[in-house]
Amino acid sequence: MNGAPIAIFDSGVGGLTVARAIAQLLPQEHLVYLGDTARLPYGTKSAETVTRYAVQAARALMHFKPKMIVVACNTASAVALPALTAAYAPIPVLGVVEPGARAAIAATQTGSIAVIATEGTVTGGAYLRAIHALNADARIVQRACPLFVALAEEGWTTGAVPELTATRYLSEMFAGPTPPDTLVLGCTHFPVLVEPITKAIGSGVILVDSAATTAHEVARLLHQANTRREASPTPPTFLSTDAPERFARVGSQFFGAPIDPSQVELVDLTP
């Protein structure tokens, strides 16, 4: 199992922020990343639909015989982890919600935490449960920010449009005498919008991105199972369910390195 890849999937290219963090922390590991761009976004769909999509994505990744599956999508992590764990045991399945919750609890000084995510993640209350499981006294305010996903996918990460959008979404959350001191970016698309988000809420708020915390959890689980890869680094494998050229163009800013469109394989997840 040491030479087997780590499989990662998301509804689009946002999960490449998680893949990037894993690649930086564990450069010797072979990563296989699947972006279900044909059915983006997951955050506006029902839990049943997201679970079905997640199981289909994991099934496609099983062709690579992975040693771990990382669900680099907050919505899928919030609703589909039980089904994925049951379907693909004993392969460990790791989501991004619990690592993000741990990072938020470690970061906050006041116990007041804001969470922004997709509609599905907010409605399902995954971060509420995960944070309160660690600190029952934490005060949490949530807001669904669906337009952030569209802006990130379009590459509109700076300028007037994302700044106005961030102000509209976030100004009320951070108004008042005791605003949250920590903001969880509860969608893997959101880290590329840090600049307009920071302009909207001020630089004094701690931003929590679950990507780095998830990468450390991956490393911990590999060490625990003694399945870390010791060979020389292998370039990642990229899969997309639609428009490989666009996946490569937009995904490069999330992954932090150029992605060659010719290296993105088009796959069909439907039965």
Tell me, yes or no, if 73 is annotated catalytic.
yes
In the chain, % helix, strand, coil (3-state, to 5) comes to: 50, 15, 35
Helix intervals (H) in 37-115:
47-61, 74-88, 97-107
**What's the CA gap between 168 and 163, in Å, rounded?**
9
Cβ contact 97:74 at 8 Å: yes
* Long-range contacts formed by 211-214: CB under 8 A, 24+ apart: 211/17, 211/18, 211/20, 211/21, 211/96, 212/21, 212/25, 212/103, 213/99, 213/100, 213/102, 213/103, 214/18, 214/21, 214/22, 214/70, 214/72, 214/94, 214/96, 214/99, 214/100
- Is 145 marked active-site? no
Which residue among 31, 57, 58, 187 is the active-site one?
Answer: 187
For residue 41, whether the previous peptide bond is cis, meaning omega lies within 30 degrees of 0, is yes
Catalytic member of 54, 70, 73, 104: 73
Q: Residue 142: beta bridge partners? A: 115
Among all residues, which ones are annotated catalytic?
Answer: 73, 187
